[in-house]
């Protein structure tokens, strides 16, 4: 069994502020204080990933690959990583697609450290929103949808309560671990870090063991993605969801994946409040409340 783990940072236990020194409350720290905070976060991310790797191996995985997807891709500590997995790290913008090495050859997928989509109330550090076939999606949902297009079930998610709720609306059977509960976007009630690791180890194994009961997330083609392009909404349509999102859309917003033909966007919109514009553009009942 081949297992693909996508890892982000914002959903780990104990994290309550952005991973950028210039943003509040980090801008009140001395440089040395922020770097120490970041080091502790990277260590916790590595421990949570290790717990998921152990769970996958215990459930029968013969190969586990972890993709370090946050920011510039240098967050997981290779020197602390479980030696039975391999790590994708570095400038993932330079790969052939947004999801390096992801194709139909994987059996299951997991997501560690997830966060809710932009505009979610009661969420820790929510960001990123796009609309897939009329449904608002965040980073975790799009990963699950692309995996589903390739026939891969995303069987597990860890992160704050809001992202778990978001993913369970898409995949009711998904395994999960809640690491924290938001009191504000930058204020949380969190599990102790060691407890989060313990639960991720247990819950990830359980999810992978019942993988046959967790279906891939499927959307009906053709696929329409409405997304933010520098403060304005744009829309793309295509029959290949992997290429449409993991190459064409993300190239349009500043990545450089390829080789790929010139982009052909069919509708351009201009609106400073782009989330409101995306809602009007998609015209979907799923958008109420965002």
**Domain presence at residue 94:** yes
Q: Is the pLDDT assigned to residue 123 strictly greater than 90?
A: yes
Residues 180 and 242 in one domain: no
Residues 171 and 47 in one domain: yes
Under 8 Å CB-to-CB from 163, ≥6 apart: which residues?
11, 114, 115, 116, 123, 138, 140, 157
By DSSP bridging, strand 63-68 and strand 2-7 are parallel
Residues 247 and 156 in one domain: no
- 264-290 b/e (C-beta count within 10 Å ≥ 16 → b): eeeeeeeeeebbebbbebbebeebeeb
For residues 149 and 238, what is the distance between their CA atoms, to the nearest angstrom?
A: 13
Domains: count for the chain? 2
**Which of 183, 213, 243 is the endpoint of a domain?**
213
Full-prediction pTM beyond 0.85?
A: yes
For residues 177 and 170, what is the distance between their CA atoms, to the nearest angstrom?
A: 16
By DSSP bridging, strand 86-88 and strand 63-68 are parallel
Rg of the chain, C-alpha, whole Å: 18
**Domain presence at residue 218:** no
State how far the alpha carbon of 80 is from the alpha carbons of 41, 55, 197, in Å.
13, 17, 14
More confident residue, 21 or 77: 77
**Domain presence at residue 111:** yes
For residues 69 and 89, what is the distance between their CA atoms, to the nearest angstrom?
A: 8
218 DSSP assignment = -
State how far the alpha carbon of 140 is from the alpha carbons of 29, 40, 146, 156, 258, in Å.
30, 24, 10, 11, 23
Tell me, what CATH number does 187's domain have? 3.40.50.10780
Report the candidate in 135, 122, 195, 125 with the shortest Cα–Cα distance to residue 161. 122
Q: Is the pLDDT assigned to residue 290 strictly greater than 60?
A: no
Range of the domain at 167: 2-213
Residues 11 and 140 in one domain: yes
Q: Is the pLDDT assigned to residue 272 strictly greater than 50?
A: no
Residues 63 and 162 in one domain: yes
**Which of 159, 180, 213 is the endpoint of a domain?**
213
The mean pLDDT value for 108-117 works out to: 98
Share of the chain above pLDDT 70, in %: 86
Q: What is the pLDDT of residues 195-220, one digit of tens each?
A: 999 999 999 999 999 999 999 999 99
Q: What is the pLDDT of residues 72-82, one digit of tens each?
A: 889 999 999 99
Residues 247 and 267 in one domain: yes
Answer whether 88's CB lies under 8 Å from 106's CB: no
Q: What is the pLDDT of residues 29-47, one digit of tens each?
A: 899 999 999 999 999 999 9
Report the candidate in 10, 12, 11 with the shortest Cα–Cα distance to residue 20. 10
**Domain presence at residue 56:** yes
Residues 80 and 112 in one domain: yes
Band of pLDDT at residue 70, cut at 50, 70 and 90: very high
Residues 146 and 185 in one domain: yes
**Which of 179, 213, 247 is the endpoint of a domain?**
213
Residues 248 and 268 in one domain: yes
Band of pLDDT at residue 132, cut at 50, 70 and 90: very high
Residues 116 and 186 in one domain: yes
Residue 25 phi, psi dihedral angles, 5° rounding: -90, 5
Residues 108 and 239 in one domain: no
Share of the chain above pLDDT 90, in %: 74
Highest mean pLDDT: which of 121-135, 161-175, 224-238? 161-175
Residues 9 and 60 in one domain: yes
**Domain presence at residue 169:** yes
- For the four alpha carbons of 15, 13, 70 and 232, in that order, the dihedral sign comes to negative
């Amino acid at each position: 069994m081949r297992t693909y783990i996508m890892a982000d940072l914002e959903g780990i236990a104990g994290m309550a502020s952005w991973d950028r020194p210039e943003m509040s409350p980090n801008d009140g720290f001395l440089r040395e204080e922020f770097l120490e905070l970041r080091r502790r976060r990277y260590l916790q991310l590595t421990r949570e990933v290790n717990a998921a790797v152990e769970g996958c191996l215990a459930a029968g995985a013969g190969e586990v690959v972890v993709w370090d997807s946050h920011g510039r891709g240098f967050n997981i500590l290779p020197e602390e990583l479980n030696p039975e997995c391999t790590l994708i790290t570095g400038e993932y913008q330079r790969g052939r697609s947004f999801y390096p090495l992801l194709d139909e050859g994987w059996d299951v997928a997991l997501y560690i450290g997830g966060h809710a989509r932009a505009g979610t109330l009661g969420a820790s550090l929510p960001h990123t929103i796009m609309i897939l076939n009329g449904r608002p999606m965040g980073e975790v949902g799009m990963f699950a949808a692309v995996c589903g297009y390739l026939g891969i079930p995303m069987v597990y998610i860890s992160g704050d309560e809001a992202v778990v709720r978001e993913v369970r609306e898409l995949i009711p059977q998904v395994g999960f671990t809640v690491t924290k509960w938001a009191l504000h976007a930058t204020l949380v009630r969190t599990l102790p870090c060691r407890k989060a690791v313990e639960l991720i180890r247990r819950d990830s194994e359980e999810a992978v063991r019942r993988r046959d009961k967790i279906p891939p997330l499927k959307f009906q083609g053709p696929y329409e993605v409405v997304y933010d392009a520098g403060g304005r909404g744009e829309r793309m349509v295509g029959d290949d969801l992997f290429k449409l999102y993991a190459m064409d859309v993300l190239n349009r917003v500043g990545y450089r994946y390829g080789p790929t033909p010139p982009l052909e966007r069919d509708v351009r919109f201009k609106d400073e409040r782009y989330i409101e514009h995306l809602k009007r553009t998609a015209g979907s009942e799923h958008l109420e409340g965002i």
